[in-house]
Amino acid sequence: SAATRGNDFEIRVCGVEDGDRMMEFLLEHYYREEPLTAGCAPPEPDEKDKQFLLSNLPHGTCLLMLHNDRIVAAAVAGPKDAGAVDELFEQAAQLAGTKWGRILGILAIAERDANVFKRYGVDKALHVHAIGVDSRMRGRALGERLMNALTALGKELSYPLLTADCSSFYSSRLLQRLGFAVVNRIPYTDYVDDAGEQIIRPPEPHLALETVALRL
Ligand code: ACO
């Protein structure tokens, strides 16, 4: 019945053994639309990008939402500290000329300019690397419920801060609704190569990479 419909959805930590299933879901419902991925060639994510998301599973900080055993939403998150910014710039330089290198380049700038460790006076944070909802089930607050569960998990694990780089207009709006503050904004038109060419060109309505943070 409508009154118990919410109970058909289960949220649980995504284990390493769920990695293949989670990636299958993300390829279908996250990567195709995620603005950094969609905004530069080729359309498919690089192998290193997928490996990076999967590398977060052992931390026990990634969540799946299931409906009758089918994945309907996923959130990939992991720990980060003040060393993240140098690592990102280094990896972006090493992978220059590749799709994942272009994406890491803007994430490095966001990390530097958001400066969350200094801004909030904390030494670690739980960072959301990806959130995706089944494209047929958007607008039913599934993303909201998953983010609320991630907030609770972050608190339980004693993280003082939850952060995310919202590449999507929709994810930024969603997280702001949940109380996250926008601490940095990079319009996609500002991320250009040496020739002044815009590196990432997502479709509308995605205009900027917005870094958001919530004290836990
Ligand atoms: N395209 C079109 N409309 C959308 C989209 C979308 N990608 N996402 C949400 N909407 C609409 C919903 O249909 C809803 O409309 P309604 O009010 O008329 O019903 C409204 O926006 C509000 O939707 P929410 O409930 O806030 O969003 P939801 O939780 O369903 O999904 C999410 C948000 C997870 C960001 C989803 O858009 C998605 O999976 N996108 C693809 C992957 C992506 O871009 N992820 C975020 C990248 S940034 C990061 O991961 C940290």
Q: Spell out the domains of the chain, with CATH numbers in brackets.
A: 2-215 (3.40.630.30)
The answer to whether residues 64 and 52 touch, using CB atoms and an 8 Å cutoff, is no
Pocket of ligand 1 (CB under 6 A): 29-30, 33-34, 128, 130-133, 138-139, 141-144, 164-168, 170-171, 174
Interaxial angle between packed helices 84-94 and 99-114, expressed in degrees from 0 to 180 and rounded to the nearest 10: 160
Given this model, what pLDDT does residue 7 score? 61
- The position carrying tokens 């419902």 is 29
Given this model, what pLDDT does residue 1 score? 40
Residue 171 Cα to ligand 1 midpoint, Å, equals 6
Nearest-angstrom CA–CA distance, 8 and 67:
6
Given this model, what pLDDT does residue 8 score? 84
Q: In terms of Cα–Cα distance, which of 105, 107, 82, 80 is closest to 94? A: 105
Nearest-angstrom CA–CA distance, 149 and 125:
16
Count of C-beta atoms within a 10 Å radius of residue 155:
13
Nearest-angstrom CA–CA distance, 26 and 19:
10
The answer to whether residues 75 and 63 touch, using CB atoms and an 8 Å cutoff, is yes
ipTM confidence: 0.95
One digit per residue, the tens of pLDDT, for the chain of length 216 reads 444 455 689 999 999 999 999 999 999 999 999 999 999 999 999 999 999 999 999 999 999 999 999 999 999 999 999 999 999 999 999 999 999 999 999 999 999 999 999 999 999 999 999 999 999 999 999 999 999 999 999 999 999 999 999 999 999 999 999 999 999 999 999 999 999 999 999 999 999 999 999 999
Mutation test residue for ligand 1: of 34, 138, 185, 211, the one with most atoms within 8 Å of CB: 138
> What b/e readout covers 163-192, taking b as 16+ CB neighbours within 10 angstroms?
bbbbbbbbbbebbeeeebeebbbbebeebe
Given this model, what pLDDT does residue 176 score? 98
Given this model, what pLDDT does residue 2 score? 46
Residue nearest (by alpha carbon) to ligand 1 atom 50: 130
